[in-house]
Structures are given as structure tokens and as C-alpha cells.
Amino acid sequence: MPELFGNQHVNGADMNRVKPEQKSGPADPSKGIFCFMDVVAKEAEHYAADHTTPLSSLLEEVARFTMGRMPFPSMLSGRIEAQFLQLLVRLTGAQKIVDIGTFTGYSALAMAEVAPDDGEIITIEHNPAHADIAKNFINRSPHGSKIRLCIGDALEIMKLLPDKKTNLVFIDADKKSYAAYYEESLRILRRGGIILADNALWYGQVLDPKDDDSRAMAGFNEMVKADARTEKLFLTIRDGIYLIRKL
Ligand SMILES: C[S@@+](CC[C@H](N)C(=O)[O-])C[C@H]1O[C@@H](n2cnc3c(N)ncnc32)[C@H](O)[C@@H]1O
């Protein structure tokens, strides 16, 4: 895909995925996970991270950089989720992958490391500052050539992708658009293709949604649950991952 998508800039830091009390970041950066998650007990998160294969040194560096230098480090998905993504890409042999919400490049790089040699990860980011940081890390990765970083609005860019060619979509951007990303994903995915929707628990707030993002995530989960076009598994990993397979 050529770089024809323009630059739809959004100024300032992106607040999605960040609750006010989370701005201070993780309590224990060495674990590669965040300690403010209250859906899964932090002791259990640490234990799980400790018993999960470490990531590449570049991914650990991206995590350290994000936690130390980015205004909202909680947007990083973390070691357990990155390993989960890598395992899924390995198991499915996914060759065409769409990563919605690049941030510092962590999920895109994680998937690129294990995608086949002819694999392609289209990662989409609307914040040019985030995209610049991700680009630096992507350029340093031996698997960076598999990644195409698109700067612009994720939904608009998804609309440019062809029908039924994609194997896997990782949805991890603005919550209000999850339902739209899901519909576009079903269009671009092959039969049997996978959607992973991150933050499906939205810090537990989907149980009693009180704000727009919580209502959007709760509504998204209900929509997916009722959709006969897919089969699904709601995973209580970290902040919840909705694992969805197109029938
Ligand atoms: C939660 S972070 C992504 C984290 C990343 N996937 C990871 O694993 O570390 C969400 C990112 O999506 C971007 N974003 C939010 N809304 C977007 C939109 N409409 N189009 C493109 N990017 C968007 C934000 O700027 C932010 O960098």
C-alpha cells in the first residue's frame, strides 16, 4: 500500500485506554506489565508475566521506552498480550495482518517478528508523534520490512483495503469506533480470519457502563455476542481480549 493516506493529525496525546488514575504508569516496569489493572489482581499479572517467555530485546526496549518516556504508557499492550499475539500469528500462519492503533509500534513489531517472511502487517496510527516513534523502532527491527505504517484515521484507511484478503485484525484504538472496525474487519477478513479486540473489559467498566467509552465497549461486546457471522471467545486476559473468528 503506497503512502497515499495523507496525514490526518490529531494534536496532543490520545486519552483512549487511559483512566485518570492510570496516568502515573506502571509500578514495576521490569515486568513489562502494568500494575494498575484491577480486573486481574496485580500479583496474578506479575506471576503470569514471570511465567511467560520473554520478548525480543527490541520489544523489551520499546516497552521500557514507552513506560519511561510516553505520557500515557498504559496504552502499551504489555508482554502477556504481545506473547499471545505472537502465538496466535504462529498458530494461524497469518500472512496479512491489520493492526489498528500503532502507538509506539509494540503490537505491530510483535506480530512482524513471527509472521512469515512474505507476511505484511498494516499498522494504522493517526497521531504523527506516535507514528514517528514507532517508525524509529520499526526501522531497527530485522522484521521491520514486513510492516507498513499508515498515518491517518484507521477506519478511512481500512476502507481502502480489499475484501477477504486479511487473516488477522488487532483492534486497539478509540473505543467509540470498535463497532465500525469490527464491520470493516468482517469485510476484509477471509473466512476463518481472526479479530482480536483489546480492552474488551475496559477495566471492568463494561459491567456498569457510566461514560461514553464504557458504553461503547459494552455495546460492542453485546453486538459481537449476538452476531451469527462469527464465533467468539471472551478472554479475561489482562483488560479482556475478545477473540472472534469469522465463519
Ligand atoms: C492503545 S494504543 C495502541 C497500543 C498498541 N497496539 C500496543 O500494543 O502497544 C491506541 C493508539 O491508537 C491511536 N488511535 C486512536 N484513535 C485512532 C484512529 N481513529 N485512527 C488511528 N489511530 C488511532 C492512538 O493515537 C494510540 O496511539
CB under 8 Å to 245, separation ≥6 — which residues? 192, 193, 194, 195, 230, 231, 232
Q: What is the CATH number of domain 75-246?
A: 3.40.50.150
Residue 17 has a pLDDT of 40
How far is ligand 1, taken at its centre, from the CA of residue 103, in Å? 5
Q: Is the CB of 76 under 6 A from ligand 1?
A: yes
Which is the closest atom of ligand 1 to the Cα of 81? 8
Reported as a single tens digit per residue, the pLDDT across 30-45 is: 333 433 346 778 888 8
**118, pLDDT greater than 70:** yes
**51, pLDDT greater than 80:** yes
Q: Averaged over 190-205, what is the pLDDT?
A: 96
Residue 28 has a pLDDT of 36
Contact 197, 244 (CB under 8 A): yes
**204, pLDDT greater than 50:** yes
Q: Give how far Cα 186 sits from Cα of 124, 193, 210, 230, Å.
A: 17, 8, 29, 9
Q: 40-49, 93-102, 218-227: which range is least confident on average?
A: 40-49
Q: Averaged over 86-101, what is the pLDDT?
A: 98
> Taking the domains of the chain in order of start, what are their residue ranges?
75-246
Residue 78 has a pLDDT of 86
Which is the closest atom of ligand 1 to the Cα of 17? 1
The backbone region for 93, taken as left when phi is positive above 0, alpha when psi lies in -120 to 50, beta otherwise, is left
Alpha-carbon distance of 67 to 64, in angstroms, equals: 5
Alpha-carbon distance of 142 to 145, in angstroms, equals: 7
Pocket test for ligand 1, best of 69, 80, 125, 160 (most atoms within 8 A of CB): 125
Confidence class for position 108, pLDDT limits 50, 70, 90 = very high
Q: Is the CB of 124 under 6 A from ligand 1?
A: yes
Q: Is the CB of 154 under 6 A from ligand 1?
A: yes
